[in-house]
A = this chain, B = another copy of it.
Amino acid sequence: MKKTAVVLFSGGIDSSTTLAIALKEGFECLALTFHYGQRHAVELEAARRIAAAMGVRDHRVVDIDLRQLGKSALTDKIEVPKGRSVDEMSRQIPVTYVPARNIIFLSYALALAEVTESRDLFIGVNALDYSGYPDCRPSFIKQFEEMARVGTKAGVEGHPVRIHTPLIHLTKAEIIRRGTALRVDFALTHSCYDPDPQGLACGFCDSCLLRKKGFHEADIPDPTIYSRR
């Protein structure tokens, strides 16, 4: 029987590449996507298309309303910063930081791993082009894994969940090269924090800028259609 893994999957470049890596490593993947009241719900459609294209049979979209907790540009009506340099991005934690978001996501993934008896969990966090989020750092992942070992039935019974972060030390360009090698169709992926009403990427938010820079540095054509160039 194939080993199963839970893969946190938003439909962006990083999580799509992570899913491709988990599949390549031979895991039967359970892709987990959250609908958390974010403005870019177009992500959900992208996630559905990519999961289908990759032949994932079990793709769950879980509704969690983080708007009840408030205060982030990704869920509230705060202005998304535009046109910042990558240096500016990494100097401070941006307003697009959603409090404890990856902690909440990983907690659900952990619960799903226990329920499905999966001992492996994949998350596409990235400590280089990570846009300043504390919950993307290796030290955080390590601590989460340890907490999960102590606090779950699976962990206590001697088969803790292992958290895989295959992208953690890669640049965006390296991720794009890796995904391309694994035949991820990046034209289907979505990154923008502030898409237009048609779902087109803005081209100037942190996420779009990192994406453009990544394709440029990877020397691979960016298949994204931006609303402005």
Cα A111 to Cα B69 with chains together (Å): 7
Which chain B residues border A62 with CB–CB below 8 Å? 65, 68-69
**Which of A66, A103, A108, A148 gathers the greatest number of chain B CB atoms within 10 Å?**
A103
Knowing A97-B153, A156-B134, say if A148 contacts B69 (CB, 8 Å).
no
Q: Please give me the 8 A-B residue pairs with the lowest Cβ-Cβ distance, nearest first.
A: A99-B114, A100-B111, A140-B151, A143-B147, A99-B111, A135-B151, A104-B107, A134-B156
Residues of chain A from 142 to 170 with CB closer than 8 A to chain B in the complex: 143-144, 146-148, 150-153, 155-156
Specify the chain B residue showing the minimal Cβ separation from A156.
B134
Residues of chain A from 119 to 138 with CB closer than 8 A to chain B in the complex: 134-135, 137
Cα A152 to Cα B139 with chains together (Å): 12
Specify the chain B residue showing the minimal Cβ separation from A115.
B71
A60 at the interface (CB under 8 A from B): yes
Knowing A143-B150, A151-B140, say if A115 contacts B99 (CB, 8 Å).
yes
**What are 22 inter-chain pairs, A to B, with CB distance below 8 A?**
A60-B68, A62-B69, A63-B68, A69-B115, A71-B115, A93-B156, A99-B112, A99-B114, A99-B152, A100-B107, A100-B108, A100-B148, A100-B151, A103-B107, A103-B148, A104-B104, A134-B150, A134-B152, A134-B153, A137-B151, A143-B143, A144-B151
Structural contact, B151 and A102, CB atoms closer than 8 A: yes
**Which of A63, A68, A97, A155 gathers the greatest number of chain B CB atoms within 10 Å?**
A68
The majority secondary structure among interface residues of chain A is helix
Contact residues of A with B, CB < 8 Å? Answer: 60, 62-66, 68-71, 93, 97-104, 107-108, 110-112, 114-115, 134-135, 137, 139-140, 143-144, 146-148, 150-153, 155-156
Among B69, B139, B155, B156, point to the contact of A112 (Cβ < 8 A): B69
Structural contact, B155 and A150, CB atoms closer than 8 A: no
Which chain B residues border A156 with CB–CB below 8 Å? 93, 134
Knowing A111-B69, A111-B101, A153-B97, say if A140 contacts B134 (CB, 8 Å).
no
Structural contact, B60 and A63, CB atoms closer than 8 A: no
Specify the chain B residue showing the minimal Cβ separation from A68.
B62
